[in-house]
Amino acid sequence: MRVDALHRPCVVRPNNNHKIGDELMKLPFAGRLLAVAMFAAVTAVMPLSAAYAQTPEKPKVALVMKSLANEFFLTMEDGAKAYQKEHATDFDLISNGIKDESDTSAQIRIVEQMIVSKVDALVIAPADSKALVPVLKKATDAGIKVVNIDNQLDPDVLKSKSLMIPFVGPDNRKGAELVGDYLAKQLKSGDEVGIIEGVPTTTNAQQRTAGFKDAMDKAQMKIVSVQSGNWEIDKGNAVASAMLNEYPNLKALLAGNDSMALGAVSAVRAAGKAGKVMVVGYDNINAIKPMLKDGRVLATADQFAAKQAVFGIEAALKLVKGEKVDTNEKGVIETPVELVTKP
């Protein structure tokens, strides 16, 4: 092998590929290897746009919901998927949910999986207002932008972890009070009522119960029982049945969501008190609409499930871009809630 051949000059002109190839082919094998190595070293330190063009990856947004057995969250998921389809070039969507409303550990595992998957943003309707905070701290520490929807995370626990996570959702207390006020107009002072609340460790359950109490107290109704139906039809049915049995003079049941209201309606019918005990709910799911029409359910509240997920995703994408989201002094982006009395 001729040593001088290894040092034969080879001028690399990035815009003249044919001449580069000709020059390389004139070199012995060892010389060609050296020239290729030199070219690779040069391009490695060139700006990315000069070396080759690459389309930036779309941000990955994870939507983590509560129970997908609840029609409300299926509607939320459908709304999110429809929005992503309309904005397919802007982001990719991963949606997940748990099997039942109180399976907090399963939801924590989903968040951990999203951290491992290195999503860019996480939009979550937490199953528990306190228990999810530590794993969401892990997510933010990993650089993931987190947005809270539906059920607000506990502000004191967030503060203890030095976390600022925006909440996108309605004023649940106000929504429940609207429903309670409407019910009160159909009752008389002193009537006995029962409240079927959601999972007690969730902020939205607490707020809706508070809203129902506000309305009942204003109208001087007698709240004889407050029990948890865990947001679910069967549990709501069991709680309603127990209340009807224990309090034979009960005039109304206020359910913290429509799933529990469905269970309450069945309990009222089974007790032979259809038309004698009024039922109200919250969420305005499709399954409740025939009951609004025929009077089995007096009223509900619409918090626009499909739009709520979209509002959360929009906020998350802003954060991914480094933009600020417009929240009030409590870190809340308030979304609409309306009284519904007709389908």
CATH number of the domain residue 78 falls in: 3.40.50.2300
CA dihedral 101, 102, 106, 108 (to 10 degrees): 100
Residue 190 and residue 270 share a domain: yes
Q: Report the distance separating Cα 240 and Cα 60, nearest Å.
A: 42
Q: Is the same domain home to 293 and 249?
A: yes
Q: 28 and 118, same structural domain? A: no
Structural domain range at position 260: 172-302
Residue 137 has what pLDDT? 98
Residue 45 Cα to chain centre, angstroms: 43
The torsion of the CA quartet 123, 125, 130, 133, rounded to 10 degrees, works out to: -10
Provide the CB-side half-sphere exposure for 48 (13 A, CA). 4
d(CA 139, CA 144) in angstroms, rounded, equals 5
pLDDT score at 28: 56
Q: Are residues 66 and 209 in the same domain?
A: no
* Number of domains the chain is built from: 3
Residues 47-72: pLDDT tens digits? 433 333 445 689 999 999 999 999 99
Say if residue 149 is in the same domain as residue 176: no
Q: Could you report the per-residue pLDDT of 247-267, keeping only the tens digit for each?
A: 999 999 999 999 999 999 999
Q: Are 163 and 207 in a shared domain?
A: no
With pLDDT > 70 as the criterion, what percentage of the chain qualifies? Answer: 84
Question: Do 147 and 67 lie in a common domain?
Answer: yes
Query: Residue 82 and residue 181: Cα distance in Å, rounded?
Result: 35
pLDDT band at residue 140 using 50, 70 and 90 as cut-offs: very high
User: What is the DSSP code (8-state) at residue 99?
Assistant: S
Q: Residue 284 to residues 35, 97, 315: CA-CA distances in angstroms?
A: 70, 20, 24
**More confident site: 36 or 331:** 331
**Is the domain of 178 the same as that of 234?**
yes
Residue 340 lies in a domain: no
| pTM score, whole prediction | 0.82
Write the pLDDT tens digit of every residue in 2-53.
333 333 333 333 444 444 455 545 555 445 544 544 444 444 444 433 333 4
Give the chain's mean pLDDT: 89
